[in-house]
Structure 1
Amino acid sequence: MWRHRTRIHRILAHLPIATAWTTNYDRLLERAFEDAGKVVDLKLTQENLVHTRRGRDVVLYKMHGCVSQSHEAVITKDDYKQYEKTRPLFMESLKGDLIGKTFLFLEFSFTDPNIDYILSRVRILLGKNAREHFCVMRKPQEPSDTDARLKAEYEYEMRKTELRQADLLRFGVETVWVDEFFHIELLLATLSSFVHRKAVFVSGAAHDPAPLGQARLDGLARAIGTRLIAEGYNLVSGFGQGLGEQCVIGTLRRLYGIPRGEDLERCLSSKLSGNIQH
């Protein structure tokens, strides 16, 4: 869909996405994740599915292969027909994710017969208990003039769109319509703002604790971290000598008092701040 990295790639890379699937052959998405400081566990081949990259932040499945290994890419009609035989582990992994995760399909055409097959199998297996998914698509554009041929083509495209929407709904995929492609970026930016609305960035450094003194300065920074968690916010810290690091300590002390271990993820780390000289 894209030849160059866009703001959409950057927004996606900064969202808390643990798993991503793509049918694109390019390397734009994994590079966007890497630029965001994330460790990408890339799945290009069947063999990749067996191994787990240590410290990974996101798993990226490239179900049709990659330009870096073009000899194994799924391109021809015969490749698609043989997919279930040549890449059965990808089929099973996708089926498992469709059962256990919520998907957001972005400008996906749904012309891939393998994905249609998997969606139908999941629907048959789970029935009404199947998880709801979402897709974002652009509406057919109504012609600006009154040319009969253009109007007929538009009505034909609208009818196909309505039928496709109904078909996707049978598979548990709800369609979100946008009028223009740039609206997808706006939608994702809004989603990002919503997801990060509870994130508070705290950073700073102080070699000289005056006039508070070291004990009072440390206590204040730790109290800030503790209060943020107590009030339901998440900490994004750049560390930094004397302030950021003490704020993290206060946050972790509060989190260790919460029984659910996954809450430790509420203390996030960002780039290290520079040491501020006074």
Structure 2
Amino acid sequence: MFTDDQTMLINRIVEELQEDNVAVFAGAGLSVGAGHVNWKQLLTPLAKEIKIDINQEHDLVSLAQYYINENGRQRLANKLINEIGIEKSPTDNHKILAKLPITNFWTTNYDTLIEESLKNEGKLPDVKFTNDHLAITKKGRSAIVYKMHGDISLAHEAILTKDQYESYSIKHAPFVTALSGHLVSKTFLFLGFSFTDPNLDYVLSRIRISFEDRQRQHFCIFKEVAEKDYKTIEEYNFNKVKQELLSKDLKRFNIKVILIKEWLDLNKILREITNQYKSKSIFLSGSAHEYGQWTKDETEDFLSRLGEILISKKFKIVSGLGLGIGNAFISGGIKEIYSNQYGKIDDQIIMKPFPQYVPDPIERSSIWTKWRYDLIGRSGICLFFMGNKLVNNKIELANGMDEEFKIAKELGLKLIPIGCSGYKASEYYQEIMNKINDYYPKKSLEFIEKLKSLNEQVHKPEQLIEKILDVLKDLEL
């Protein structure tokens, strides 16, 4: 499905995401899918006014300067407002990026698509497009959006002309300094960017001179030049050679170009990055008032040990602290983190107990559904264990797990029911095995046998740990 280079990119970005080391640099190409015009489309009617064929003039910064020299800046600023000031909805790619744990976004775009996509994910963006903004920290921010060339809300101050580009490193020196620092300490993913921006070229050149062959590696995704996109074979050949030369030139800055055939491939790559990143996060669904063939102590010891081992294997664990289940699981994970100094607990464990005090049953149900979507949506794998509760002094199946099963399936998580634990988990095991090709269409018979082993009775629940790890290992392949 992916080329060797694309697979390498996916693996590297997933690794860097786990270390909170990824930054995104978004160019105009990322916003085109939302209906915004690119810089060339924006300038085309203005070029006609000054009798310039935009297809023959490739220096668009100079073209903007020529126009302002003839007609003043206001007309160009108004054009910007009329074209980009129109509200658009974030693209699927914006939404995927907003869901990922990326805290630094850089862009030369004037639109608000990045910050809107972050807000839609419940994140608080700290947007910076003036020097003064850099000195202020928004309280509670989830991500920072650096807009190098300004924002549509201040179109009259946006970076548009050659004059502004030439003075950028002086008048906007704090942005140059901030970007330089991030390019040294973060792994950048350049999306929809053509590398014709002189400001970025200036920053990259400074880093190259300072670090020489010790530059951090970054990645850029280009759509491969295709003959069908051009009117003549000469035009195609020109752009093909130009792309090849640019790709080689970017090696000077340790930027590796990854080619895709169609823009749809970018979406596939971002989705695969998301899937692989989330596959290292495990949500435990379950509850227990009674423990079947095992004792309470045996079960809690098993869950605690499972939490420890998953953390030691570099998994993140997620739990809503289900009755009799979640506390032991999370406790084991916390113990492992403190014992071996893995860093902050928040980086490896997400625990959100269900809000209990919501008197109105309809409102409570609505809140709990949203709560489940939030928790499960942070995971790539869902373990189902036991699932019973006490109602009027009688043991009943925990039907609340049905919603968790439904949500996990809807969100595309890998579902692993520990059937031998009984109760709801046993029901889910039968459901999955009866429709195994729907749930695991590409998995081997060996994997299916490992999944079946989770339905085999064991004397002690701790005997399940190796079986669970075997299944998880297969899911990573």
Q: 1:209 maps to what in 2?
A: 289
Task: Specify which structure has the higher proportion of helix.
Answer: 2
Within 5 Å, give how 1:156-195 maps onto structure 2.
156-195=238-277
TM-score, normalised with respect to structure 1: 0.85
Matched residue type, 1:132: Q
Structure 1 residue 29 corresponds to structure 2 residue 114: yes
| Deviation larger for 255-264 or 104-113 | 255-264
- Counterpart of 1:18? 103
The 5 A counterparts of 1:123-272 are: 123-143=208-228, 150-203=232-285, 206=287, 209-210=289-290, 221-240=303-322, 243-262=325-344, 264-269=346-351, 272=371
Alpha-carbon distance between aligned partners in 2 of 1:74 and 1:269, rounded to the nearest angstrom: 44
Q: Does the 8 Å contact 1:107/1:138 carry over to 2?
A: no
CA distance in 2, matches of 1:272, 1:214: 27
Distance in 1, Cα, partners of 2:326 & 2:372: 8
Indicate yes or no: 2:108 matched with 1:9.
no
Unmatched runs of 5 consecutive residues or more in structure 2: 1-30, 35-88, 353-369, 374-388, 390-397, 401-477
Contact 2:291 2:299 in 1 (8 A): no
Question: 1:166: Cα distance to partner?
Answer: 1.8
Further displaced range: 214-223 or 134-143: 214-223
Deviation at 1:222, TM superposition (A): 4.0
TM-score, normalised with respect to structure 2? 0.52
Measured after TM superposition, the shift of residue 219 of structure 1 is 5.5
Alpha-carbon distance in 2 for matches of 1:22, 1:52: 19
- Which range moves more in the overlay, 176-185 or 158-167? 158-167
Question: How do residues 22-101 of structure 1 correspond to structure 2 at under 5 angstroms?
Answer: 22-101=107-186
Tell me the distance in 2 between the aligned counterparts of 1:6 and 1:28: 8
Structure 2 CA distance for partners of 1:68 and 1:251, relative to 1, 3 Å: farther
* Per-residue CA distance 1:89-109 (angstroms, 9 max, x = gap): 001101111112111101201
**In 2: Cα distance, 1:40 partner to 1:249 partner:** 33
- Report deviation, 1:86: 2.4
Shift of 1:277: 6.9
Once the two structures are aligned, what percentage of the paired residues are identical? 35
1:261, CA displacement in angstroms? Answer: 2.2
Superposed CA RMSD in Å reads: 2.9
2:289 alignment partner AA: P
Question: Comparing 268-277 with 113-122, which one deviates more in the overlay?
Answer: 268-277
Rg larger in 1 or in 2? 2
- TM-superposed CA distance for 1:55, in Å, is 4.0
**Residue correspondences, number:** 273
Hey, which bits of structure 1, 4+ residues long, moved more than 6 A? 212-217, 274-278
**Counterpart-to-counterpart distance in 1, 2:134 and 2:322:** 38
Residues 247 and 55 of structure 1: CA distance in aligned 2, closer, same or farther (over 3 Å): farther
Shift, 1:218, TM fit: 5.8
